[in-house]
Amino acid sequence: MKPRAIVLTGDGINCGDETLFALQIAGFDPLLTHTSDLLSNPKILKDAKLLALPGGFSFGDEIASGKVLAIKLEAALKDSLKEFVDEGKLVIGICNGFQCLVQMGLLPESEKEGVRLASLARNNGKKFINRWVQLSVDSKVSCPWLEGLTEFDLPIRHGEGRLSPAKDSEEAVKKQAPLRYSLEVNGSFDRISGLTNAKGNVFGLMPHPEAFVRWTQHPSWTRLTSLPDKAPPGLRIFQNAHSMVAN
Amino acid sequence: MTQGAKYRENEHVLEISKTATICVAVISEAEHHNSQSFPLYWLLVDKESLTDGKIPSSMQKDISAVLADSLSQEVLACIPEERSKWLERFAKKEYKHFAERQFLPGVTDNLAHTVEEALRLKGLKGIIKVASGRGFLFKEKSGDADAISEMLIYKEYHPLTDRFVVHETSDDGAKLLKFPHVVLPETPRVENVNLELSDANLEALSKERLLALNLDEMKAIRQYYRLDKTKADRKSHGMPEMPTDVELEVLAQTWSEHCKHKIFNAKITHIDNSKPRELRSETITSLYKTYIKAATKKLSQWRKDLLSVFEDNAGVVKWDNETAVCFKVETHNSPSALEPYGGALTGILGVNRDILGTGLGAKPLFNTDIFCFAYPSPSLPQRPKLLPAKAILDGVRKGVEDGGNKSGIPTVNGAIFFDPGYRAKPLVFCGTGGLLPLHIKAGNETRDAVKKHTQAGDLIIMAGGRVGKDGIHGATFSSESLNEGSPMSAVQIGDPFTQKRLLDFVIDARDAGLITGITDNGAGGLSSSVGEMANITGGAIIHLDRVPTKYPGLADWEVVVSESQERMTISTNDFDGIKKLAEKHNVEVSNIGEFTNKGYFEVQNNGKTVALLDLEFLHDGCPILSLESQWSPAQITMKTGKQPEHLGRVLLQLLKHPNICSREPIIRQYDHEVRGQSVIKPMMGPAQKAPCDAAVLLPRLTADLDRAPALAVSNGLCPRLSEHDPYLMAQCAVDEAVRNAVCVGADPDTLSLLDNFCWPDPVYSDSNPQGKRHLAELVRCCQGLYDAVIAYGAPLISGKDSMKNNFDDGALKLAIPPTLLISCMGRVPEARFARSMEFKKAGDLIYILSAGVLGLAASHYEEFNGWQSIMLPELDLDRAPTLYRRLHTAIKSGWIHSAHDISEGGLAACVAESVIGSRNGASLDVGEYHKYLSNLYEERGTQAFKSWDFVTRADALLFGEGPGHIVVSINRDHQSDFERHFEGLTSIKIGEVTAEQQLNIVDSEMKPEEKDLISLSTQAMKTAWETALPFD
């Protein structure tokens, strides 16, 4: 049986369809689930192996990106989510989903309950950016989601992606950062583009892996004389997730 | 009922005296700059939620948790009277002025709506309503209050939407802004209007009530009320014989130019002075039927994939056995001239709703946006009622960013075109494409989802936002005539978040089989949406007492014609099902009436009929306009000069031109990839610098996407040719759209086109003496459009016109250049065939494909030199379609590595762009092309070419612009295949792609000392091309 994945949608989440598709071709049995349905029936998490918080503009990105969705989920789901994470099940937050995980304090992981170690602030340059960037994997930070990947390209599409650690939290944040921008793009601390918890089951990143699941998505694919047979790096991340739950 | 709705309803009964306001400022820790700004909020709460007039500490804590980032921000929250402490604090930090910005009452405040919801989610009790704003602090050197207001106008506030007040920090705080309550004067809900008046008084009445109906139309309405049948009907419904204001407004809206396209349906006497006297005059019964509908009809015998054209909110074309794609392009020019941000935002959200209202509801796939602006310059005319040109640019750009990004719809294609003529009005074209299933299951029934299935007895559901004064006779209001509490009706700001929820809800409701029919509430509001759907069943009745409003006090007619955004009108036979689903999606839905088969459009309020209109009269009673047009060929005085010495320098200057330079900084701010469907993006290539001719995307996410069919989306627009001949302008616009689509890999036999006309007023009157000329231009444009559409076999499937693009404040008259935008979609047989325009590999051969002649008239090169010629480009409509078909086969065969159309800046700019986008250079010898043109010159004889003495001059060859030309680079292994493939057509080898990052162009036909034309490094061209456009 294919592992069940819950893909959150509604309230301004935009990337539900393509995240669902990416999980599907990676071998999951994904279910697009509206926030209202998850809130009224948190039990559906019981059967799931993975929860995806996709990208988008939840609540119009007003106040701060991901903030109001975080308030909504925390108010009704705090315990269910904690249980889900504690059981070692997978959570991925992409872009706005990552912002939401950071707002909830799930990433970066903090030793003290309720104390956030970092925020995702407005990009340096103050502008929304949609472009493809090169990412590099820090092998010193264990992250099974990135297994087999070292340097790869993904698109970023955000206005608030600059990771800003709280005072004296810099080192704690670095320890949780397996993914960096190869070049400076938005002023993010230590060029960090993704974070994971110590256990490695919660992963959040600003770039969009669901936007690189076929080769014809890459901006210079038209230079290729033939399309490669192997999975593109974005798809690889979802396939890694599949290996994590299939074992 | 959702929680939000309940609270908002409370507001109607809640007395202001029972409320209190909490004022909030969210200050960042770095509070030491010369100036800074931060969010302000006014929270209207139930008085009882305060303790002895003070904010309880738990409330204080929750407010901080919701509104501030605890890592970097501090919250000041207090009752209004205590804000003097804020001023003291600001003064202590040596700030001299504190400015407040607040939305005017009734203006859509998206941030506030989210804050309301967030505070409630946090568990805060007693929140009634929120208003958001911004605070600004200035040290002494920023100048006095007037200087600050002057500095920030249109940048940080707009007088039509915002209140902006500057205080001194030494003030006592009494004048700080309070909660912006909407207060409406008591007005009668319904009035009767006497039409038994003299002609002059009828016209005056139309003007006074802003009905925009002419005398014939007013008389036709009066005649309807004189009929015995009308009188009897009205009597039986307890109505007076005289029309009500509700009825007049409904008629005025339904018969408006915007909705009825009276000019396109007018009877036109067209005089063409270029013809012999006896052939000069012809009568055209309807431009729309004669040229647009007729072309599509002719082509529809070959195009069986056209499922719905010109009927629904968008044109619908079959995609595969399960789905159809649809496409619609709208303009939002006048609103964007007034308040650019709101204008563009509502333009996008509006056209998204057109898609959502197509068939039983299509899902938006992509947005396109095309802007025509005047480039900001001190030489532009300045008038009090003309917004600064730069404010228009920035506002529109931001509106598109928010409209697309927040809705999760990628902005995949567009154009920005500058011409001083657009000082009269900026043109903002917003397009959206959507995906529609062919069939929907509803119970045991399978419905054709391309059609509407509304039946008599179905309920009328209004879904989404509430009704306010938004957009009621908007454009005619002026800021002076408004009092303190008037809701702003002139300007609308869209709410992408509310609409995103509405969109998700509609798609779910559609798939659940709950929708029998749907359309959007755009221009004309309920009057238009319900009025149009009533045609399906033969009648409708609306109960105004069931229509939720944003605030009390609206007159009945206002509720009926209000253009409040984010609303859909749905017909259903299962309101319970709709309601349940809407609650899940946090969307407000109301059952506001019923579709009938009684033949009337009826409106009731609390059981009393306030409008009763015969449906046939409402839709077909409008008299047909009779207009006159007069065409004389353009009189253009030739003014040309010698070829400049350094053509390389000219090329660099052209690459810097605002119509040619890179759009990258703007493109990067639009999400063009969301939904994961992109194949060809706006910027491709190794450094993402290659400006692609058109977008290619995958409408459906299914297996093996690299081999799945993909959709190409392009546009064409050549307004500078209008001055010479609108017939040619139309042909070139069609050709450009077609050519762009073919360049990225679309099959030329699968293209569908959309027409959008933006014209200066073509109705002659004393105040519009140019009317006949502009109408003649429209006639010629339609003729050119017809001929091109037939030649390419690309049918028109949807269109729109905007006919009053003038500025006239009594002192200055301005008119836009007549502009036709052609949008195009077509099928790329497999995604992997799609092509980008940059050169790919050293050694590839470069060819120019030609079907016509490039010209200097209206070119950017000519503008650069200050010349004016009549060397017009030509499009060979006999050969171009074949040329494009052959190119398509060559692309599918894998021979073509890049294809790029020659447009602004000519051959040189075209090749320069393909170099800039690549890691390569190019070495060109245009000698063969030169020889080809010389032969053409000989063949035609000098007579035909009288006007182009310099057809073979190097500058004309490099910088001439026009239709019918494409530059391709090909894999050199396929040189002979390629050349054989194009036999009988014009395909000329002009060079090859090099490894060296350099562009060299020589002409071996020239004398040795004149043969070196251009030698430039890629870096020099890139630097020039990346000259920034004047956007913030």
pLDDT the model gives residue B490: 61
pLDDT tens digit sequence for B131-160: 999 999 999 888 999 999 999 999 999 998
Cβ of residue A107 closer than 8 Å to a chain B Cβ: no
Spatial distance between the Cα atoms of B397 and B370, rounded to a whole number of angstroms: 11
The predicted pLDDT at position B947 comes to 53
Question: Can you tell me the mean pLDDT for B492-519?
Answer: 96
pLDDT in tens, B735-779: 999 999 999 999 999 999 999 999 999 999 998 999 999 999 999
The dihedral region occupied by B582, where left means phi > 0, alpha psi between -120 and 50, and beta the remainder, is alpha
The answer to whether the beta carbons of residues B940 and B713 sit under 8 Å apart is no
Contact B672 A130 (CB under 8 A): yes
For the entire predicted model, the pTM comes to 0.95
User: Any CB–CB contact under 8 A between A25 and chain B?
Assistant: yes
Catalytic, out of A100, A143, A160, A208 = A208
What integer pLDDT is reported at residue B810 of this predicted model? Answer: 86
B112-116, B344-348, B360-364, B934-938: which range is least confident on average?
Answer: B934-938
What's the pLDDT score for residue B726?
97
pLDDT value, residue B474: 52
Residue B477 banded pLDDT, cuts 50, 70, 90: very low
Nearest to A62 among B110, B401, B706 (CB): B110
**Chain B closest CA to A22's CA: distance in Å?**
10
Residue B56 is encoded by which pair of tokens? 């309880």
Q: Above pLDDT 90, what percent of chain A?
A: 96
Dump pLDDT digits (tens) for B275-303.
999 999 999 999 999 999 999 999 999 99
User: Has residue B950 got a pLDDT over 90?
Assistant: no
Residue B212, pLDDT > 90, answer: no
CA trace torsion B111, B114, B115, B117 (10° rounding): 160
What pLDDT is attached to residue B8?
41
Q: Is the pLDDT of residue B3 over 60?
A: no
The mean pLDDT of A118-147, rounded to a whole number, is 96
Which residues, at least 6 apart from B1027, have a Cβ–Cβ distance to it below 8 Å? B655, B656, B661, B662
The whole-angstrom separation of Cα A106 and Cα A108 is 6
Q: Which residue of B has its CA nearest to A102?
A: B69
Name every chain B residue with its beta carbon within 8 A of the beta carbon of A219: 681, 683-685, 688
Whether residue B229 has pLDDT greater than 90: yes
**CB-CB under 8 Å, B832 with A216:** yes
**B579 confidence band (pLDDT: 50, 70, 90):** very high
Q: For chain A, positions 130-169, list CB contacts with chain B under 8 A.
A: 130-132, 155, 157, 164, 166
- pLDDT tops 80 at residue B12: no
Q: Which amino acid is at B560?
A: V
Using a CB-CB cut-off of 8 Å, the residues of chain B touching A75 are 121-123
Chain A residue at shortest CA distance from B412 = A130
pLDDT band for position B14 (cuts 50, 70, 90): low
Q: What is the pLDDT of residue B481?
A: 39
Q: What is the pLDDT of residue B220?
A: 97
Question: What is the model's pLDDT at position B635?
Answer: 86
Chain B residues in contact with A130 (beta carbon < 8 A): 667-673
Q: Which residue type is seen at B998?
A: Q
d(CA B750, CA B793): 9
Which two structure tokens, joined as six digits, stand for B321? 């056995």
Q: In Å, how far from its chain's centre is CA B909?
A: 28
Q: What is the pLDDT of residue B17?
A: 83
- Computed on alpha carbons and rounded to an integer, the radius of gyration of chain A in Å comes to 17
Q: Which residues pair with B677 in a beta bridge?
A: none
Per residue, the 3-state secondary structure of A192-243, as one string, reads: EEEEECCCCCEEEECCCHHHCCCHHHCCCHHHCCCCCCCCCHHHHHHHHHHH
Residues in chain A: 247
Q: If you average pLDDT over every residue of chain A, what do you get? A: 96
In this prediction, residue B943 has a pLDDT band, given cuts at 50, 70 and 90, of low
pLDDT of residue B32: 61
Is A231 in the B-facing interface, judged by CB distances under 8 Å? no
Contact B676 A75 (CB under 8 A): no
Specify the range with the lowest mean pLDDT, choosing from A97-106, B470-479, B719-728: B470-479
Tens of pLDDT, residues B1013-1026:
999 999 999 999 99
Shortest Cα distance, chain B CAs vs residue A243, angstroms: 21
How many angstroms separate the Cα of A222 from the Cα of each of A135, B706, B815, B888?
Answer: 21, 12, 43, 16
- For chain A, report the end-to-end CA distance as a whole number of angstroms: 13
Tens digit of each residue's pLDDT (9 = 90 or more) over B704-737 = 889 999 999 999 999 999 999 999 999 999 999 9
pLDDT class for B436, splitting at 50, 70, 90?
very high
Catalytic residue flag (residue A208): yes
Which chain A residue shows the shortest CA-CA distance from B674?
A15
Query: Catalytic one among A95, A143, A218, A242?
Result: A95
Going by pLDDT thresholds of 50, 70 and 90, the confidence category of residue B257 is confident
pLDDT band at B488 (very low <50, low <70, confident <90, very high): low
Asked whether the predicted pLDDT for residue B88 surpasses 50, the reply is yes
Q: How far is A239 from chain B (nearest CA, A)?
A: 16
A35–chain B nearest CA distance, Å: 9
Please tell me the predicted confidence (pLDDT) of residue A143. 97
Q: State whether residue A68 sits within 8 Å of chain B by CB.
A: yes
Check CB contact under 8 Å for B406 and A68. no
Query: Any alpha helices (H) in B122-227, and if so which ranges?
Result: 145-152, 199-208, 215-226
pLDDT given at position B34: 76
- The average pLDDT across B263-286 equals 95
Q: Is the pLDDT of residue B118 over 80?
A: yes
Given a cut of 50, whether residue B535 has pLDDT beyond it is yes
Q: Say whether B706 and A14 touch across the interface (CB within 8 A).
A: no
Please say if A74 is a catalytic residue: no
Q: How far is A140 from chain B (nearest CA, A)?
A: 28
Residue B186: pLDDT band (50, 70, 90) is confident
What does the alpha-carbon distance between residue B286 and residue B672 come to, in Å, rounded to a whole number?
Answer: 39
Q: Give pLDDT, residue B849.
A: 98
Q: What is the pLDDT of residue B486?
A: 55
Residues in chain A closer than 8 A to B681 (CB atoms):
219
Does residue B6 have a pLDDT over 50? no
Q: What is the pLDDT of residue B638?
A: 82
pLDDT tier, B489 (very low <50, low <70, confident <90, very high otherwise): low
CB atoms closer than 10 angstroms to residue B656: 17
Contact B500, B114 (CB under 8 A): no
Residue A158 falls in the annotated catalytic set: no
pLDDT digits (tens, 9 = 90+) for B640-690: 888 899 999 999 999 999 999 999 999 999 999 999 999 999 999 999 999
Q: Is B38 on the interface with A (CB under 8 A)?
A: no
For chain B, give the percent of residues with pLDDT over 90: 84
pLDDT, position B10: 42
Q: Which of B228-237, B469-478, B972-981 has the lowest mean pLDDT?
A: B469-478
pLDDT, position B572: 98
The per-residue pLDDT for range B506-522, each reduced to its tens digit, is 999 999 999 999 999 88
Pairwise CB contact (< 8 Å): A213 & B676: yes
Task: Tell me the CA end-to-end span of chain B in Å, nearest whole number.
Answer: 43
Give the count of Cβ contacts less than 8 A between chain A and B. Answer: 164
